[in-house]
Amino acid sequence: MPTISIRQHGVSATRNQTVVNPATGEIVKLTAFQPPERTATKGWTPNVARRNEQRLQQIDFDGIDGVPTFVTLTMPSGQMSDVSASMFHGWLKRWLQYMKRHGMAHYYWILEFQASGNPHLHVLVWLDHEPEPLETFKALRSWVGILNKSGVGARLQGQIWENIDVGGEITVDGETVPAHPERVLMYLAKHAARGVAHYQRQIANMPEDWQYRSGRVWGHDRGLPLREQQDFETDYPTFHRFRRLVRRWRLAEARAIKDPERRRQAIVQARRSLRCSRRDVSPYRGVSAWLPASVASQLLDAAVSMNGGDYEEG
């Protein structure tokens, strides 16, 4: 039986991952008996990309107090042969500590690699105050100083600080994105959803040392407000109706996009959302989408009401 997972900003589906505990008769998750094996993190794998996207969909943006800003931190690719993953994550930790001392309330970061093998960090930061230009300069200079002290010739010109003025637009990796924390992270998550095939996430574009143990490629502070996902087990007829309703909703959203080229691409993606060459995941792939929890719940209720379907909360 399929399980539909509804999060604050998205929905996905999987095979039923519950079993009956033979000792107690209680229905529990399969992982209670078979904990997932912990292995060394090797960059952006499909599972890592999926977990990143699903965590982003759990963020309670309305519950975050603070002024959002978007920061991109880079370093020169010419010295990457001398930089290990542990060194890089140590620098990130020190920079986040600096930001905490200067009013950072929450953060979410994503690590990518350019075709040259040069890593760069996208960091969404929430401050407890409106930053002054001198503060933003010092924040970027602190990153450059951390690297320079370790013998890496980072440049201040390569670092970017963009205030997120809701209602406007900002530029992320050369793409124009609506200026809202949710839309920025949604864009980065969709980047990740393209998977390891995207050049910024291909292991071959990572330095050799990083290919075996890259460390985490995304993360956030423990206090970041999250909404728990709700899991619903459905019968197959209800699930298939739900898939079609999600696709219709995505098509409606795509047709409302003003930019002609973006509208065309979104419509094509929505129409193809239920297609997948992998038979093991094809039935569930089309359900994965960014949409409000209220909409997903309404679509599930509609799917249930057609022909007397049924579901139960997991």
- The tens-digit pLDDT sequence of the chain (314 residues) is 788 999 999 999 887 656 566 666 666 565 555 555 545 566 777 788 888 889 999 999 889 989 999 999 988 777 767 788 888 899 999 999 999 999 999 999 998 876 666 778 899 999 999 999 999 999 999 999 999 999 888 889 889 999 888 878 888 777 788 888 888 888 777 665 554 445 444 555 566 666 667 778 899 999 999 999 999 988 889 998 999 999 999 999 999 988 888 889 889 988 888 776 666 666 666 688 888 999 999 999 999 998 655 555 55
Q: Which amino acid is at 61?
A: F
Amino acid at 290: W
| DSSP H or E segment with residue 250 | helix 236-255
Q: Does the CA dihedral 237-238-241-246 come out positive or negative?
A: negative
- Residue pLDDT, tens place only, 145-195: 999 999 888 889 889 999 888 878 888 777 788 888 888 888 777 665 554
Q: Residue 123 in contact with residue 164, Cβ under 8 Å? A: no
Structure tokens at 218: 């995304």
| CA–CA distance, 150 with 228 (Å, rounded to integer) | 41
Interhelix angle for 260-271 vs 236-255, to 10°? 170
CA distance 313 to 39: 32
Record the pTM. Answer: 0.83
Is residue 242 within 8 Å of residue 11, measured between CB atoms? no
